[in-house]
């Protein structure tokens, strides 16, 4: 029979005692929060959860999420305003402001998914389209009147001299600004509302390239009477002449003529006024965003649009579709578009467009979601690879675009909230209404 010596017995007993002590120590360190090993194991577990998507939100966020695979953001009933502009004389202003209300819904090209309400109140940041204290720039102009003594008719001369501190493009780069000048006259009790004023004259300056401080020095002469001087007003709007979308309104100002210090018989007085927040809207669009970090793929689920401004001669020839353009520092990288929908101002698309975007580039790119009109007789824009076709003239090209939404990390207001919600809920579809500008 095998027998152990005294030394061997002592060695085996020591090894067993050591293993027991080591096991007890490890158990205590894992269980007791004050132990350094417990803290290390907790950090490792948290990193693994974040890596594999178990915790969808970053620490410190306030967005309420549920387990449903799709989210709908209710932006409240957007307000629709319509307006028009041209390069020649006009005799009628835009349409009356309308309200529209939507149900909170979302659909994808693969079918309906379950829906959970997503309220504006669940986002901690204030929800505004543009910052309240934003500066929209200034315009400097001069006005004087030539009216012979005893005559009821004369000439109103306006010199648009320059603009300063205009807002840059939200998708990168400086703007190509121009000004639109209107002489409007009140015809009702409500001063200068769209329903109570008529446009007597409308002019446009030339576009200035790549500047936020354009100098125009352009003169416009209008034939007026005493009533026009009493009840008339000048409306000046600043626009950005854009290539890939409709021209963006940078600011506007309306000044009654009786408030202007203009002289008579050639006296010239310079006036500088601040532009106010632009208010032109061209309809609404509902689309969803989702991002897959592992596949490095960003998906636009273009659901539908509502109250689109008709840019065709009649509703029957109006064929809206949606373009999505991927931009970086003002340069176009990629573009895709949906099919068009014929004869409707509230088209339903339910189409999905995908873009390859690495996670490191999410904060450096922006997307232009552009609602456009396709003329069925115009074959020059039939290719999905062409964001804008060579037009016969500038007016023809601009008339194809209805409105746009710029979305990304560099924008403000609701588009930024939508973008943040997408980043904070990877692999989920976050859907929201947006107003076309």
Nearest to 252 by CA among 410, 137, 403: 137
pLDDT in tens, 53-67: 433 333 333 333 333
Question: Is pLDDT of 153 > 70?
Answer: yes
Question: Is pLDDT of 396 > 60?
Answer: no
CA-based radius of gyration for the chain: 31
Helices 36-51 and 6-31, packing angle to 10 deg: 60
Name residue 182's beta-bridge partners. 202, 235
User: Could you tell me which residue, 411 or 94, shows the higher pLDDT?
Assistant: 411
Q: What is the mean pLDDT of residues 229-258?
A: 92
Question: Is pLDDT of 180 > 90?
Answer: yes
Alpha carbon distance 342, 197 (integer Å): 33
Lookup: tokens for 72: 């709908």
pTM, whole model, 2 decimals?
A: 0.63
Q: What confidence category does residue 171 fall into, taking pLDDT thresholds of 50, 70 and 90?
A: confident
- Domains annotated for the chain, with CATH where assigned, are 137-275 (2.60.40.150), 283-375+399-436 (2.60.40.150)
Q: What is the mean pLDDT of residues 366-375?
A: 90
**309 touches 403 (CB < 8 A):** yes
Q: What confidence category does residue 69 fall into, taking pLDDT thresholds of 50, 70 and 90?
A: very low
For the chain, the distance separating the N- and C-terminal CA atoms, rounded to the nearest angstrom, is 96
Alpha carbon distance 71, 415 (integer Å): 15
Question: Is pLDDT of 341 > 60?
Answer: yes
Name residue 301's beta-bridge partners. 288, 352
Question: Is pLDDT of 330 > 80?
Answer: yes
Q: Alpha helix (H) ranges present in 86-155? A: none
């Amino acid at each position: 029979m095998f027998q152990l010596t005294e030394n061997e017995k002592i060695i085996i007993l020591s090894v067993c005692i050591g293993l027991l002590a080591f096991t007890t120590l490890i158990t205590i360190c894992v269980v007791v929060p004050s132990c350094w090993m417990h803290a290390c194991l907790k950090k490792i577990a948290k990193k693994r959860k974040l890596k594999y998507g178990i915790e969808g939100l970053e620490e410190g966020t306030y967005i309420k999420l549920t387990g449903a695979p799709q989210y709908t953001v209710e932006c409240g009933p957007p307000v629709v305003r319509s307006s028009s502009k041209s390069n020649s004389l006009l005799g009628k202003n835009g349409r009356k402001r309308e309200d529209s209300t939507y149900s909170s819904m979302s659909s994808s090209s693969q079918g309906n998914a379950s829906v959970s309400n997503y309220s504006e109140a669940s986002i901690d940041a204030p929800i505004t389209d543009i910052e309240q204290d934003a500066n929209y720039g200034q315009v400097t102009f001069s006005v004087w009147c030539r009216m012979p003594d005893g005559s009821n008719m004369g000439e109103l001369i306006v010199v648009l001299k320059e603009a300063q501190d205009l807002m840059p493009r939200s998708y990168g780069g400086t703007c190509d600004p121009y000004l639109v000048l209107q002489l409007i006259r009140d015809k009702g009790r409500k001063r200068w509302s769209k329903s109570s004023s008529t446009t007597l004259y409308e002019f446009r300056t030339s576009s200035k390239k790549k500047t936020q401080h354009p100098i125009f020095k352009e003169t416009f002469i209008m034939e007026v009477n005493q009533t026009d001087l009493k009840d008339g007003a000048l409306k000046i709007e600043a626009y950005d002449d854009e290539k890939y979308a409709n021209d963006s309104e940078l600011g506007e100002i309306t000044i009654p003529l009786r408030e202007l210090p203009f002289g008579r018989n050639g006296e010239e007085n310079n006036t500088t006024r601040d532009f106010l927040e632009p208010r032109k809207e061209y309809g609404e669009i509902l689309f969803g965003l989702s991002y897959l970090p592992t596949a490095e793929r960003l998906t636009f689920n273009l659901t539908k649009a509502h109250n689109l401004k008709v840019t065709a001669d009649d509703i029957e020839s109006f064929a809206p579709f949606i373009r999505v353009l991927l931009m970086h520092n003002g340069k176009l990288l990629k573009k895709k578009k949906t099919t068009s929908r014929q004869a409707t101002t509230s088209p339903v698309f339910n189409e999905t467009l995908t873009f390859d975007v690495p996670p490191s580039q999410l904060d450096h790119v922006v997307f232009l979601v552009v609602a456009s009109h396709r003329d069925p007789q115009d074959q020059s824009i039939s290719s999905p690879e062409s964001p804008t076709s060579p037009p016969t003239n500038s007016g023809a090209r601009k008339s194809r675009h209805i409105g746009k939404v710029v979305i990304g990390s560099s924008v403000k207001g609701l588009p930024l909230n939508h973008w943040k919600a997408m980043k904070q809920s990877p692999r989920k579809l976050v859907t929201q209404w947006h107003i076309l500008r």
